[in-house]
Structure formats: structure tokens, C-alpha cells
């Protein structure tokens, strides 16, 4: 078994015991990238020179006995978090030459924990997409079937972990962009509570929904990553100053007597039969683990997609107004005056999906329509949040499928935006309510495509998610497979 296939926890033990060096681990990851990257396209930019220099420094630190929680661990960063002196594109032509003058808080935290950055992972343009097909730099392919999508918008972050092109990675989740690709690529992905992880240096899509979180190979690694990422940041106005527990303490605890809510609204007509069967099997595993599964209602679930596709584009249209060719990023050369520069820069710099969402959002916020759309959507959002608050009064966590189908073929839904939007139907609600969610592998289809199960908990209860996901992972005994790249 190559070093690139091991978990953070396993590699940390080997580093502490002197069995391997950080340089060997990093070289192993780059050898794997050399072997498979041209097939998968997980990365927009690789940072091999910087990574090997960081690994050499990590080895010096280890010799001095200075080993932190991520010392020597190669990690991929979604290309939506700012990296000082290194291009940050958001998967868009309009930022293809943007070099930030500062690091995102999560980059600083990972760096202080000893992480080694492998590169910037591919993504849907400005995180707008569910398939990583809207990237200016071309699509990422699912390592389990190269003709299929990896999910999105954090597709590159998910495939990098699934294909062993890094040990763990960072993504962002606005409507399911961590959990959905995690499910479709067979890895663990967590969206923390809104405000739990600093968004300083995250290039904004929809500011009331965006949240940064980890992709890992197992639940224990997720706990290790969350220990690094979580916490208050005075630089970020939505960061919440709440105590952060040691998430590793939740690993291996039983869930005997826990009440697990099963919302009937998530087991609907149209869900893929194999996904439905895998979710039902997951319910049985939870019951065998000591959990008491109970039917619950989340009555406003049917409005989630409609509410999301008013709120997210409205916030995006405001956030993306800053990309006009004046201060940074791409600027069209074919202009005669200022207004023409704005128009042609945005026309040439943004892709079709981003333009579509800017137009939807601008319309929803326009005079005479604000009350009918954005205000009404915000009111229904409050009802969706209340549904969860009521549910968590009677249950500890909620179990749902992560996605309605396994990974679909590249190009299958590009001409049908509504079908594409519906692929996030089970993940959007957590972003609207601001609650944490985790997707854990729960089996494979007959074609060998991964399926994920999602657990949701109340605000700032990531520990509960790690506890239930760890118990599920242990007792489900999902077959350990690797993509046959």
C-alpha cells in the first residue's frame, strides 16, 4: 500500500515513529498525481516546488520533536480560498491571473498545523454548479468512472482525495458543494455550522450560505481536520465565538439510545432505487448500533430548491458586481470607453452558468420584485430553519440520502439547468438552516459507483455528527475499494 493511500492518522503514527519522512509522503502523492492527473483533472495549479520545500522543513521540525496535528500531511485547497502570492482563480476566466496579497484564515490555520499544500483544486466557476463542468479550466472526471461527473462545486477537492492525489482537502459548501461530491466520489465530506469556520479569504458566492469544510478518507481524519479549521476569527464578521471541543474525543463513542430522525420528505418518488436501498440499509445499521430511528416531518422541504435559487443568485449578483476589470483580474482589451469595458469584461470573463445566476439574482433584487422574490424566499427560509429546530427537539440527528442519484454522465444535464439544480435537493436545506451536515460512504451501485448517506445535527453539534458517522462507519463495514485508475 502506497503512502498516498493512507489516512492522516496512519501517516502521523508513521511520522512519529520515524518509519517515514514528510518528504517521502509528499513525493508519493506527486508520483500518484503524475500517474493519474491527466485522466481525472483534480487540479488547476500544482505547487510541487513549494510542497517539497515545506516537506523538507517538516522533516527538520520532526527531528526536533516538533510534530503538530497535520505536520507532513499533503492537502489540496479548493481554488476559492486565497493563497498569498499564488494564483486563485475560482475556476473563472475573470480571475485567471489574480494573485491574492494575503492568505485565507483556513490556509493560515492549516499552515500553522504543519500541512503541506499540494495545489489548488478544480471547481465549478465561482462555485456555481453541481458537476465541476462549469470550470473555465475544463471538467474534472469521477475517478470511479471517467465518463461521469464527480459532483460539484468542489469536485476537484473530492477527486483529489478519492484518487489519492492528496491525503485530505478543503472545499466550500453553499448548497451541498462538499457533501454531494463526497458522496459521488466515495469519501467523507463535512459542511460545518455557518459561523464555525472562518470565511475570511473565501471568495464569496452567497455570503449567508457559504461555509468551508474538509474532505477526508475516513471520519477520524474529518475530526482531525475540524480541530484545525474550527474556531472564532475576529477578522470575519459572521464567525461565531463558541467553544470548540476536541472532535477526536467523539470517535468510537456509541450511539445507544440516540433518536435518529428519518424525514419522509427525503425518501421521495424519483430517487434512484439503488440510492434508496443503500439509505434504507444505513438505517438498519444505525438501529443495530443502538440508535432508535423514528419518522419525522420537515414540511417545508419542498420549497428548499426554489428558495435557494432565489437567495443564492441574489447574493451572487451583489458579490460578483466587483469583477469589472478595474482593479484586478481579467480586463477586455477591445474597449473604447468605461461602460464598454465593464460590459465586455464581464461578458468575456464569466461563463454561461455564472451569467445565468447573476441575471436571476439581479432580477430577484430589482425594484418591484424584491418583496415578491428575495423577501418571500427569506421568510420561507425562516420556516425551513424552524422545521429543523422542531425536529431536533425530539431527535439527536437526522439521516437522509446525500444525493438522489449516483454520479451522472458528463454532459448529461448541461443543457437542462433545472435537472442540474435538483441534484442538490437533499443538501440545500442544511445551508438554508445554517446547520452542520456530513456525508459518509454507504455502499456502491451495481456499476461500482459510490453512494453516500448524510447525517444532519443542530447548530454547532459537529461532535454529534462525528460520533454518529464514526459509529456508522465502524458498524456498516463498507467494502474498502479504490478507483481502478
Could you tell me if 165 and 29 are in contact, meaning their C-beta atoms sit under 8 angstroms apart? yes
With CA atoms as reference, report the closest residue to 179 among 439, 425, 396, 371: 439
> Rounded to the nearest 5 degrees, what angle is found at the Cα of 393, between the Cα atoms of 215 and 385?
60
**Cell reading at 58:** 517538516
Please identify every residue annotated as catalytic.
Answer: 78, 153, 177
Rounded Cα distance between 187 and 204, Å, is 25
Question: Three-class SS of residue 352?
Answer: helix
Cα 15–chain centre separation: 28
With CA atoms as reference, report the closest residue to 171 among 209, 244, 120, 207: 120
Could you tell me if 90 and 153 are in contact, meaning their C-beta atoms sit under 8 angstroms apart? no
Rounded Cα distance between 89 and 399, Å, is 35
Rounded Cα distance between 102 and 26, Å, is 25
Question: Three-class SS of residue 150?
Answer: coil
With CA atoms as reference, report the closest residue to 12 among 227, 185, 189: 227
Would you list the DSSP string of 53-115?
HHHHHHHHHHHTT---TTTT-EEEEETTB-BTTB---TT-GGGTT---SS--HHHHHHHHTT-
Could you tell me if 137 and 91 are in contact, meaning their C-beta atoms sit under 8 angstroms apart? yes
With CA atoms as reference, report the closest residue to 190 among 462, 484, 444, 434: 462
Q: What is the chain's alpha carbon radius of gyration, rounded to the nearest angstrom? A: 21
Rounded Cα distance between 435 and 193, Å, is 5
Question: Three-class SS of residue 456?
Answer: strand
Amino acid at each position: 500500500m502506497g503512502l498516498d493511500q493512507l489516512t492522516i492518522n496512519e501517516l502521523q503514527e508513521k511520522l512519529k515513529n520515524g518509519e517515514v519522512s514528510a518528504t517521502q509522503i509528499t513525493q508519493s502523492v506527486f508520483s500518484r498525481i503524475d500517474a493519474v492527473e491527466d485522466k481525472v483533472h483534480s487540479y488547476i495549479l500544482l505547487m510541487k516546488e513549494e510542497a517539497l520545500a515545506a516537506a523538507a522543513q517538516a522533516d527538520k521540525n520532526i527531528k526536533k520533536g516538533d510534530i503538530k496535528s497535520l505536520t507532513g500531511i499533503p492537502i489540496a485547497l479548493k481554488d476559492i480560498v486565497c493563497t498569498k502570492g499564488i494564483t486563485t482563480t475560482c475556476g473563472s476566466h475573470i480571475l485567471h491571473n489574480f494573485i491574492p496579497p494575503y492568505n485565507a484564515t483556513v490556509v493560515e490555520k492549516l499552515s500553522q498545523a504543519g500541512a503541506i499544500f499540494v495545489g489548488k483544486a478544480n471547481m465549478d466557476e465561482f462555485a456555481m454548479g453541481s458537476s465541476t463542468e462549469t470550470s473555465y479550466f475544463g471538467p474534472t472526471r469521477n475517478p470511479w468512472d471517467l465518463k461521469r461527473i464527480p459532483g460539484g462545486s468542489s469536485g476537484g477537492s473530492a477527486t483529489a482525495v478519492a484518487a489519492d492525489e492528496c491525503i485530505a482537502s478543503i472545499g466550500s459548501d453553499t448548497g451541498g458543494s462538499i457533501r454531494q461530491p463526497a458522496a459521488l466520489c466515495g469519501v467523507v465530506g463535512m459542511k460545518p455550522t455557518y459561523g464555525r469556520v472562518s470565511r475570511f479569504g473565501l471568495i464569496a458566492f452567497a455570503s449567508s450560505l457559504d461555509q468551508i469544510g474538509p474532505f477526508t478518507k475516513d471520519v477520524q481524519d474529518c475530526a482531525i481536520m475540524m480541530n484545525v479549521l474550527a474556531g472564532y476569527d475576529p477578522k470575519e464578521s459572521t464567525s461565531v465565538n463558541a467553544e470548540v471541543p476536541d472532535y477526536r474525543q467523539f470517535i468510537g463513542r456509541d450511539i445507544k439510545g440516540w433518536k435518529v430522525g428519518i424525514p419522509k420528505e427525503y425518501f421521495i418518488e424519483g430517487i434512484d432505487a439503488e440510492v434508496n436501498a443503500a439509505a434504507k440499509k444505513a438505517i438498519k445499521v444505525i438501529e443495530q448500533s443502538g440508535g432508535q430511528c423514528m419518522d419525522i416531518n420537515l414540511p417545508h422541504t419542498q420549497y428548499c430548491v426554489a428558495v435557494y435559487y432565489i437567495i443564492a443568485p441574489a447574493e451572487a449578483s451583489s458579490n460578483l458586481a466587483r469583477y469589472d476589470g478595474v482593479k484586478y483580474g481579467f480586463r477586455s482589451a477591445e474597449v473604447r470607453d468605461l461602460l464598454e469595458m465593464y460590459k465586455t469584461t464581464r461578458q468575456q470573463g464569466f461563463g454561461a452558468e455564472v451569467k445565468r445566476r447573476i441575471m436571476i439574482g439581479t432580477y430577484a433584487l430589482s425594484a418591484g420584485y424584491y418583496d415578491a422574490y428575495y423577501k418571500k424566499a427569506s421568510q420561507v427560509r425562516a420556516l425551513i430553519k424552524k422545521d429543523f429546530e422542531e425536529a431536533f427537539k425530539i431527535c439527536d440527528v437526522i439521516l437522509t440520502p446525500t444525493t438522489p442519484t449516483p454520479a451522472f454522465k458528463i454532459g448529461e444535464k448541461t443543457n437542462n439547468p433545472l435537472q442540474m439544480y435538483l441534484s442538490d435537493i437533499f443538501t440545500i436545506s442544511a445551508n438554508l438552516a445554517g446547520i452542520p451536515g456530513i456525508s459518509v460512504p454507504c455502499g456502491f451501485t451495481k456499476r461500482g459507483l459510490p453512494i453516500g448517506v448524510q447525517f444532519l445535527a443542530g447548530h454547532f453539534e459537529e461532535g454529534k455528527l462525528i460520533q454518529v458517522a464514526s459509529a456508522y462507519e465502524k458498524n456498516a463495514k463498507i467494502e474498502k475499494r479504490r478507483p481502478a485508475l
